[in-house]
Amino acid sequence: MTSPESDLAGYEVLACVCGGIAAYKVCEVVSKLVQRGAGVTVAMTKAARKFVTPLTFQAISGRPVLTNLWKTGGAADIQHIDLTTRADLLLVAPATANTIGKIAAGLADEVVTILVISADSPVMLAPAMNDRMWKNAAVQRNMATLRRDGFHIVGPAEGWLACRSVGPGRMVDAAELVEAMVVQLKTRPPKSKH
């Protein structure tokens, strides 16, 4: 019997972090996944690095963090296709209005959107933004497109937002997001066991 601490052994997750205050929650998500045995590789947008440093995610995941596709040598050397091939799940969190729009339009202009567009696994989005942004017609159109395209959406939740208002747009808590990821991961065996 697999212990709860290692029930994700063999699974590979790509955690793509975008530029929103909720980026700090992804630190806990990555930590919980690693503690349960998953291998987690983190990629970050330039804006995400304004909120949390790559060093933080490197320490938590035990792996180099992908921040730039144009860097040569080492773990970032045009291995994004290999990373997406090995990944059992790709997470985008916090999924900002900007990144949601790019993904819905099929744009791939930086590391996170390139990973998403080349994904060979289910993709899960955890939206997080101001409540007025979330309710915007363009954002809702983009979300409808992503749902139709088969993306898995978790949240957003209602609650206190960084802009000092209360409403929908808050990224779900780490525990809820991890459990949604576990459910998705366990729908199939890890790719590493094929």
Task: Please tell us whether the domain made up of 4-187 is placed in CATH 3.90.950.20.
Answer: no
Mean pLDDT of the chain: 89
Residues in the chain: 194
SS3 54: helix
Q: Does residue 62 surpass a pLDDT of 80?
A: yes
Determine what percent of the chain is predicted with pLDDT higher than 70: 86
Torsional class of 185: left (φ above 0), alpha (ψ -120 to 50), beta (otherwise): alpha
Which of 24-33, 68-77, 152-161, 167-176 is the least confident region?
68-77
Looking at per-residue pLDDT, the higher value among 187 and 164 belongs to: 187
Residues 6+ apart with CB under 8 A from 146: 100, 103, 104, 125, 153
Q: Which residues are catalytic?
A: 163
Mean local confidence (pLDDT), 58-72? 85
Q: Residue 140, Cα to own-chain centre: how many angstroms?
A: 19
SS3 34: helix
DSSP secondary structure code for residue 129 in this structure: -
The pLDDT value recorded for residue 167 is 59
SS3 84: helix
Kindly report, residue by residue over 21-36, the tens digit of the pLDDT. 999 999 999 999 999 9
Domain limits, the chain: 4-187
The pLDDT value recorded for residue 13 is 97
